[in-house]
Amino acid sequence: MVRCVSLFSGAGGLDVGAIQAGASIVACVENDPDSAETLRLNSLAAHSDGIIEADVQTIDFRHWRDGQPTILIGGPPCQPFSKNGYWVKNDNRLIENDPRNMLGQYLRAVQELQPNGFLFENVESIRHPTNIKIFEKFIAEAEALGYACTVYRANAADFGVPQKRKRVFVFGIKDAHKPIPLPHATHGDPAKPELMNGFTPYVGVGAFIERFDKDIFAEPQEDASAGTYYHELVHVPAGKNYIALSKLERYDGRTFRTGGRFWNFLHKLHPDEPSITIAAQPGPWVGPFHWNNRRLRVPEIAAIQTFPEGYRFAGNRRSIQKQIGNAVPSLLGKHMVSHLIEHL
């Protein structure tokens, strides 16, 4: 069995995927107390001392270097990517020297652990022109450490996740002669039949969350009926957002100029379609909303992120939303880690 060290583990979405792919988690490094407790509640590490609540900068990763097949997984926080290349201090040394930048810490972990392969995950905007030099520097330094790198832009819905969520992955294989091939998607958008090519259609969110639409799962926070835009929310058709209001007949509420609001404003789920991206810190009228005109419940957002049913989360409601919203969908993680292990 392949051993796995996880960095920036959060609530464990990618870790769950790694376990489902056949890896054994020997260490999860997570600095947030609530997230670390979530990892403990679900016993994600193979041993009880494998959940390490600490700043990644304090960890010596040589501790897990023992010659056994090992992979490193994780997605560093994306906050440092707001300015182009400010942390690049010296082309002749690793980029961990800027303490604000966790990409450098990821590379330090690679250097110290010397895993057979690594899986790096981050937001799609890491390849935005503002950040591309940072990303290219990361790839160059990983290659300098002896890893052939494959960059893959994934949409979670393409792998059976009931959510359109785009992320960038980097697969690194130690001492490989060439980068590994891209993963093969399993699902396609039925709205684009010319691109289906035999794929299974995208999975609708209803199959994942309808069982939680019972009073036993109700939460006080879900009630939006006293809010500013509830009348408008009620009239938004399932699968649409605020833009649809301006096209309704015999509608007596407010309408909004197209482009005048973010696209997820008043967005409502349709049970037969994937969800939009689950946000870590949504505003009060940021979707997705349930088609029954309420905010989503914890087990619903967890199911949309494909956490196993019954997965437990520590912290208050705001902390739990953040943990789930920041996670890699577990099913997507399973596909990505499986692809990595297959090519070690």
| Model pLDDT for residues 89-99, shown as the tens digit of each residue | 444 445 445 45
- 8 A C-beta contact, residue 35 and residue 15: no
CATH number of 3-189+328-342: 3.40.50.150
Q: What is the 3-state secondary structure (H, E, C) of 18-62?
A: HHHCCCEEEEEEECCHHHHHHHHHCCCCCCHHHEEECCHHHCCHH
**Per-residue model confidence (pLDDT) at position 142:** 97
**What would the two tokens of residue 189 be?**
């958008």
pTM (2 decimals)? 0.93
**Per-residue model confidence (pLDDT) at position 186:** 95
Among 20-29, 53-62, 196-205, whose mean pLDDT is lowest? 196-205
pLDDT band at 278 (very low <50, low <70, confident <90, very high): very high
Out of 4, 28, 78, 149, which one is annotated catalytic?
78
pLDDT tens per residue across span 190-236 = 888 887 778 999 999 999 999 999 999 999 999 999 999 999 999 99
Amino acid symbol at 222: E
- 8 A C-beta contact, residue 90 and residue 97: yes
Backbone angles phi, psi at 308, to 5 degrees: -60, 145
pLDDT band at 80 (very low <50, low <70, confident <90, very high): low
Backbone angles phi, psi at 110, to 5 degrees: -60, -45
Query: Quick check: is 4 catalytic?
Result: no
**Per-residue model confidence (pLDDT) at position 90:** 43
The residue extents of the domains of the chain are 3-189+328-342
pLDDT band at 58 (very low <50, low <70, confident <90, very high): very high
User: Which of 289, 313, 272, 299 shows the shortest CA–CA distance to 232?
Assistant: 289
pLDDT tens per residue across span 123-179 = 998 898 888 888 999 999 999 999 999 999 999 999 999 999 999 999 999 999 999
pLDDT band at 79 (very low <50, low <70, confident <90, very high): low
**What would the two tokens of residue 192 be?**
């684009």
Q: How far apart are CA 74 and CA 108, in angstroms?
A: 13
- 8 A C-beta contact, residue 84 and residue 133: yes
Question: Mean pLDDT, the chain, as a whole number?
Answer: 92
